[in-house]
Amino acid sequence: MRDTPLSNCERLFLLKAIEAKKRLDGRQTYDYRNIKITFGTDYGCCSVELGKTRVLCQVSCELVPPKDSRPTEGIMFFNLELSPMASPAFEPNRQSELLVTLNRQLERCLRNSKCIDTESLCVVSGEKVWQIRVDVHVLNQDGNLMDAASIAAISALSHFRRPDVAIQGQDVTVFSPEERDPIPLSIYHMPICVSFAFFLQGSYLLVDPCEREERVKDGLLVIAMNKHREICSIQSSGGIMLLKDQVLRCSKIASVKVSEITELINKALENDRKIRKEGGKFGFAESMPKERITTLKRDDAPVEMTDVKETASDIVNRTETTTEVVPSPVLVAMGTAQVGEGIVNSWALDEDEEDEPQTEDRKTDEVMVISDSEEEEVVILHEEAQKSTKTSKQK
């Protein structure tokens, strides 16, 4: 099933709004939507909401043989799924171009940047290593899936704990969380993707484009960076030519956004760690508001209301036209008249005028119709004519 395309009016409206430096949800050019990070009851389960875009990430691990080329390093595996539940444009059991692009960007951002110490995942050199599997599920699509997926993946990896192991000779014992505390992963840095959408051949750019803005974009630039201002990966798509100054400008903006998002992730991790330590309630169910009238209330987007009355009055004055009042209708043909707002209503005047001479003719002729039958008409003649016919019959 394909998604409904944008009409020409919607496309033109979006482009005009971008030229005026305005967005549909009231954000500024470089503003992100609200980011909400929630952790589940199990370690390594994380849900990220970027506006209406929602992504769920689950991290798991298992012992597998290592690769022959790297016998002392663990394995990182990333999998991203686009289900029809997220958007009607996504088809099940089919690898679309968007899915392949997102998977490659996620691997380039997290695996190739060496953000995780893979050597610490080795249990027995050349025999057993930990394989870390990162599954990202898109629950709702409203634009900028790459940023939401990268935030969810690095948050889940930071929250994940692998089981502790013990080695005795050739035997490897894996302890449950009840027997020994699980061990967190060794993470060097947190690479986060920041997306920039370009419009009108690179004349305008927006940070964190929504789904409708992505439809009218001409190009996309994705920069993966950590809080130390180190670029982990960069990718441009769309076929537009970007200048050196534009790329440098985007990198400076990305450094600010990445530091803010990293601080938000650290705060979420610290809050979850504190609640678990105190023995409080945690998980997805506890993060949802309950027993409130405004649980499903939708937040109103901020709309600029300055100079609304003056603008409306100017528009009304330009479009307002004086209505011409016609004193009497103009009869084009018999039986027609003109009726409308601001016109003298003289409907059916001609019929009244036509009826008057007919009544006078009836009085003069003194003819009475006593039957309306369609077959024949019976007419009563004058009394004198009736008398003459009677006398002639008697004779």
Alpha-carbon span 78 to 80, nearest angstrom: 7
- Report whether pLDDT(32) > 90: yes
What mean pLDDT do residues 7-27 have?
91
CB-side neighbour CA atoms (13 Å) of 352: 5
Alpha-carbon span 122 to 74, nearest angstrom: 6
DSSP 195-221: EEEEETTTTEEEES--HHHHHT-SEEE
pLDDT of residue 312: 76
What mean pLDDT do residues 276-289 have?
74
Q: pTM of the entire structure?
A: 0.73
pLDDT of residue 288: 65
The pLDDT-based confidence of 118 (bands split at 50, 70, 90) is very high
Any idea which fold 8-286 has?
A: Ribosomal Protein S5; domain 2 (3.30.230)
The pLDDT-based confidence of 91 (bands split at 50, 70, 90) is confident
pLDDT of residue 130: 93
Q: What is the mean pLDDT of the chain?
A: 81
Q: Per-residue pLDDT tens for 306-360?
A: 676 777 788 777 775 555 555 555 555 555 555 555 555 555 554 445 455 544 4
pLDDT of residue 79: 93
pLDDT of residue 361: 47
Helix, strand, or coil here: 177? coil
pLDDT of residue 316: 77
The pLDDT-based confidence of 289 (bands split at 50, 70, 90) is low
Give residue limits of the domains in the chain.
8-286
pLDDT of residue 158: 94
User: Which carries the bigger pLDDT value, residue 326 or residue 304?
Assistant: 304
The pLDDT-based confidence of 151 (bands split at 50, 70, 90) is very high
User: Who's near 103: CB < 8 A, 6+ residues apart?
Assistant: 78, 79, 80
| Lowest mean pLDDT across 4-13, 138-147, 281-290 | 281-290
Joined tokens for residue 250: 């985007």
Alpha-carbon span 108 to 155, nearest angstrom: 17
User: Who's near 204: CB < 8 A, 6+ residues apart?
Assistant: 18, 19, 198
Alpha-carbon span 179 to 295, nearest angstrom: 40
pLDDT of residue 286: 66
